Amino acid sequence: MNRLNRIKPATNVVFNLLLLLLALVCIIPLILVFMVSISSEASLSAQGYRFIPESFSGTAYAFLWNERATILHALWISVLVTVLGTVLGLLLTTTMGYVLSRPVFRLKGFFTYVVFIPMIFNGGMLANYVVTNNLLGLGNNILALILPLAVSSFNIIICKTFFKSTIPDSIIESAKIDGATQFRIFGSIVMPISKPVLATIGLFLSFGYWNDWFQSTLYITDGRLFSLQALLDKMIKQIQYIAGNPSAGASLQQYISQMPTEGVRMAIAVVVVIPIACAYPFFQKYFISGLTIGAVKG
Amino acid sequence: MKTEQIEVNKIRKSKHKKRWTRDDTELSLLGLPCFVWFLLFSYQPMFGIIIAFKTFKIAPGHGFLYSLMGSDWAGLRNFRFFVQSNAFGMLLRNTVLYNIVFIVLGAVIPVVLAIVISQIYNKRAGKVYQTMMFFPHFMSWVVVSYFVYAFLSPDKGLINGIIRAFGGQTVQWYSEAKYWPYILVFMQVWKTIGYSMVVYLASITGIDQSLYEAAVIDGASKWQQAKYITLPSIKSVVVMMFILNVGRIFYSDFGLFYQVTQHIPNSLYTTVSTFDTYIFNAIRTNAPIGQTAAASFFQSIACCVTILLANFIVSKVDSDSAII
């Protein structure tokens, strides 16, 4: 920036302090939760949650390690749903995005309406529930976690804008002259040069699936299909839910009384959050580029 | 001369009649799976609106669709029931008021912050602040509810701990309704601040620097530069976000209201319930489906109207910014 047009140094200090404060407010909750998870139960009972506890302890994590079966299973479900959902979502979104980007296509107007209208009128929570649960019979089925979230009109518009602006018509025309079908063009020419948009939409979808808990609350009652987020949700009211298999011989009461409850609560939250917290800074630029493309009218 | 004219007209007309090409078939097939998805998951639910107009009764031994077809028509009875219920006024007030606050704060704060960040000397620090402020966006509301619990837990929470240390009276946070509007607004801003700011910042950095240089030569102050160069350049993005948010004014972010309050205890019911939490609860407690459907479709229809209205108003004021 031009040295002549800078803000005053004093203003710069004020701005930096303000931004620093806000940035800290954004990440402090994670720090508190992490500190609680490594506090000993004794200091938690005596002092409550503190940034710096009286004494540290790893018992919460040790406990989680013993119960890892439940957590690992939930992790498996989360991973499965995220991977399948992202792949499916990418396929559906990019095909429609490509089709809408073609300059001459008889059904383009029709498909555009099909994609655009749901942005204005939505069936609503109840109708979606009835369709997924009653009409399609996906109650307690892993597809209920995958299918409804696969496509969004916003993502399709991002794809369409990308294809329209990045793929020169000449390449497509020459491929057609060589006798390629649209399928071949899409698969062999368009996809390989679409890595940025694939990364962006893929990330949107992945984070959407990974963080979803709402679909589980509506459709899943079978514990074997709980994702990590669903597990966290169940545990808000019932901390003992984590007890997949209490050690043989001990009653549930005894088990709960031995559980380092407070620390465990926060430890699970930490376990769920840390992967995302570490990963997202690397993917920021894809998110930003996707959001800005979408914000420019497609 | 006349026959030539007719020939030319005939040729012109046949050129307008586009022939269905092989390309069209292939493209249609390529877009077919997504089209089917929309039919199943976007348009099929729209037809569910007839549930709101019927008194649904399960026909024993038959499936949902059959029972639905066989149920009696209820006219507008379900809608009337919903609109006249005690809950409706409260839900309407909560949903709309919270959204108005969210929309206003969501339009002002991120824009201000984006301008602030674009002005600081150290660009690397700016990137760090941006990354840190983006963090809440990636947390699910369930995880955030645990964060909030760490602060607000009545016996262990940090806030009560601090109050106790100063000799004050601890607060039963999850039972006192009066604090929650502020808590919820704060959490909503906390979670969305980074996302919006990042979008606006990207637009701001795209502004041609020579515009600023020209303004400086003309003697413009920083305020004037912001007002005449920066804000107009991001206007279309801000307006688009604004229209989309107004169009969702009868919807609410379910996770915010349901998870942060720890599944809405009774003490907070009238302060934090929105249409979405009401409908969700009705689904879970197996309330008569016609009434739940009426509530749900009230939302959809009302929002359809508001988004078209918002777009219309904006297109009259500044037609470049409208999205339809």
Dump pLDDT digits (tens) for B132-155. 999 999 999 999 999 999 999 888
| H or E segment to which residue B54 belongs | strand B54-55
- Burial of B208 by CB count in 10 Å (0-12 exposed, 13-18 middle, 19+ buried)? exposed
Q: Do B65 and A135 touch (CB under 8 A)?
A: yes
Cα gap B91→A236, rounded to integer Å: 25
Is A233 in the B-facing interface, judged by CB distances under 8 Å?
yes
CA distances from B107 to A2, A15, A160, A181, B178 (A): 29, 20, 27, 47, 26
Pairing of strands B54-55, B72-73: antiparallel
Q: Is residue A185 part of a domain?
A: yes
Distance from CA of B37 to the nearest CA of A (A): 8
Reported as a single tens digit per residue, the pLDDT across B80-118 is 888 888 889 999 999 999 999 999 999 899 999 999 998
**Residues B281, B138 contacting (CB under 8 angstroms):** no
How confident is the model over A220-225, as a mean pLDDT? 88
CATH number at A183 reads: 1.10.3720.10
* CB-count burial class (<10 Å; 0-12, 13-18, 19+) for A100: buried
Q: What is the pLDDT of residues A44-70, one digit of tens each?
A: 888 888 888 888 888 888 888 888 888
What residue in B sits closest to A124 (Cα-Cα)?
Answer: B296
Q: Do B45 and A232 touch (CB under 8 A)?
A: no
Mean pLDDT of B169-196: 92
Q: Are A150 and B37 an interchain contact pair (Cβ–Cβ within 8 Å)? A: yes
- What length does chain B have? 324
Hey, are the CB atoms on B38 and A151 less than 8 Å from each other? yes
Three-class SS state of B55: strand
pLDDT above 60 (res A256):
yes
- Per-window interface: A 258-287 vs B, CB < 8 A: 262, 265-266, 269, 272-273, 276-277, 280-281, 284, 287
Whole-number pLDDT of residue B109: 93
* CB within 8 Å: A48 and B143: no
Cα–Cα separations (whole angstroms), residue A280 to A89, A109, A277, A286, B196? 20, 37, 6, 10, 16
CA–CA min distance B8, chain A (Å): 24
Coil, strand, or helix at residue B317?
Answer: helix
Lookup: tokens for A81:
């749903």
- Rounded to the nearest angstrom, the gap between the alpha carbon of residue A218 and the centroid of all alpha carbons in its chain is 18
- Based on its alpha-carbon atoms, the radius of gyration of chain A, rounded to whole angstroms, reads 25
A126/B48 Cα distance (integer angstroms): 9
B133 contacts in A (CB within 8 Å)?
Answer: 22-23, 26
Dihedral angle over CA of B200, B253, A119, B314, nearest 10: -50
Q: What secondary structure letter does DSSP report for B135? A: G
Residue B264: CB partners within 8 Å, gap ≥ 6?
A: B257, B258, B272, B273, B277
Q: Specify if A143 maps to a domain.
A: yes
- Judge whether A233 lies within some domain: yes
Of B153, B202, B299, the CB nearest to A288: B202
Q: How far is A49 from chain B (nearest CA, A)?
A: 5
pLDDT band at A4; cut points 50, 70, 90:
low
Interface touch B42/A272, C-beta < 8 Å:
no
Q: Does residue A109 belong to any structural domain of this protein? A: yes
Question: What is the model's pLDDT at position A89?
Answer: 96
Q: Contact A124/B236, CB-based, under 8 Å?
A: no
Q: What is the pLDDT of residue A278?
A: 85
Mean pLDDT across A278-285: 82
Contacts of B148 in chain A (CB under 8 A): 29
Residue window 21-50, chain A: list those with CB within 8 Å of chain B: 22-27, 29-30, 32-33, 36, 44, 47-50
- Find chain A residues with C-beta within 8 A of B295's C-beta: 126
For B200, the closest chain A residue by CA position comes to: A292
CA A66/CA B19 separation, integer angstroms: 68
Question: Closest by alpha carbon to B192, among B254, B256, B134?
Answer: B134
SS3 content of chain A, % helix, strand, coil (to 5): 75, 0, 20
C-alpha dihedral sign at A16, A17, A22, A28: positive
Min distance B225 CA to chain A CA atoms (Å): 10
pLDDT at A298 over 70: no
Residues 6+ apart with CB under 8 A from A171: A189
Nearest Cα to Cα of residue B142 among A233, A228, A263, A30 = A233
Structure confidence at residue A120 (pLDDT): 85
CA distance linking residue B58 with residue A139, whole number of Å? 18
Are the Cβ atoms of B45 and A127 closer than 8 angstroms? yes
pLDDT at B61: 78
What single letter denotes the amino acid at residue A125? M
Give all domains of chain B, ordered by start, each with its CATH number.
Answer: 77-317 (1.10.3720.10)
Tell me, what amino acid is at B25?
T
Which A residues, 62 through 81, put their C-beta within 8 Å of a C-beta on chain B?
A: none
On chain B, the residues whose CB falls within 8 A of the CB of A104 are: 23
- Supply the pTM of this predicted model: 0.87
Chain A residue with minimal CA distance to B128?
Answer: A23
The shortest CB-CB distance from B145 to any of A117, A236, A295 is to: A236
What percentage of residues in chain A have a pLDDT greater than 90?
37
Tally of domains within chain A: 1
* Whether pLDDT at B317 is above 80: no
CA atoms within 13 A on the CB side of B287: 19
**Residue A82, domain member (yes or no):** yes
* B52: number of Cβ within 10 Å: 27
> Residue B203 — φ and ψ, nearest 5°?
-65, -40
Contact list, A147 vs chain B (CB under 8 Å): 37, 40-41
Rg (CA), chain B: 27
Check CB contact under 8 Å for B129 and A20: yes
User: Given this model, what pLDDT does residue A249 score?
Assistant: 40
Q: How far is B239 from chain A (nearest CA, A)?
A: 10
Asked if the structure places residue A275 within a domain, the reply is no
Q: Which among B94, B109, B124 is positioned nearest to B277, based on CA atoms?
A: B94
Quick one: which H or E segment has residue B308?
A: helix B289-317
- Judged by DSSP in three states, B73 sits in strand
Name the pLDDT band for A97 (thresholds 50, 70, 90).
Answer: very high
Residue in chain A closest to B281 (alpha carbons) equals: A218
Query: Are the beta carbons of A272 and A212 closer than 8 angstroms?
Result: no
Q: Are B132 and A23 in contact (CB under 8 A)?
A: yes
CA distances (Å), origin A63, targets A60, A78, B32: 5, 21, 50
ipTM confidence score: 0.86
Instruction: Provide the sign of the torsion angle of the four alpha carbons B195, B197, B203, B205, taken in this order.
Output: negative
Q: What does B182-210 look like in DSSP terms, one character per residue?
A: HHHHHHHHHHHHHHHHHHHHHHHHTS-HH
Domain range for A177 is: 68-242
DSSP state at residue A103: S
Is residue B236 pLDDT above 90, yes or no? no
Please judge whether B156 and A126 are an interchain contact, meaning their C-beta atoms are less than 8 angstroms apart.
no
Which of B18, B42, B174, B256 has the most A C-beta neighbours within 10 Å, making it the best mutation to test the interface with A? B42
Neighbours of A245 (CB within 10 A): 9
Angstroms from B100 CA to nearest CA on chain A: 19
B119 to chain A, closest Cα gap in Å: 7
Cα–Cα distance for residue pair B117/B112, rounded to 1 Å? 9
Separation in Å, CA of A53 to nearest CA in chain B? 12
Residue A98 has pLDDT above 90, yes or no: yes
> DSSP letter at A38?
T
pLDDT score of A46: 83
- What is the distance in angstroms between the Cα of B5 and the nearest Cα belonging to chain A? 29
Q: Do B128 and A23 touch (CB under 8 A)?
A: yes
Amino acid at A246: P
CA angle B321, B323, B324 (to 5 degrees): 125
CA separation for the pair B194, A23 (Å, rounded): 9
**Calpha distance A159→A290 (Å, rounded):** 9
B116 and chain A: CB distance < 8 Å anywhere? yes
Buried b (16+ CB within 10 A) or exposed e, B13-23: eeeeeeeeeeb
Is any Cβ of chain A less than 8 angstroms from the Cβ of B193? yes
Q: Which residues contact A253 (CB under 8 A, 6 or more apart)?
A: none
Per-residue DSSP letter, A168: -
Nearest chain B residue (CA) to A296: B237
Which DSSP state fits B121? S
> Which two tokens mark B84?
């006249």
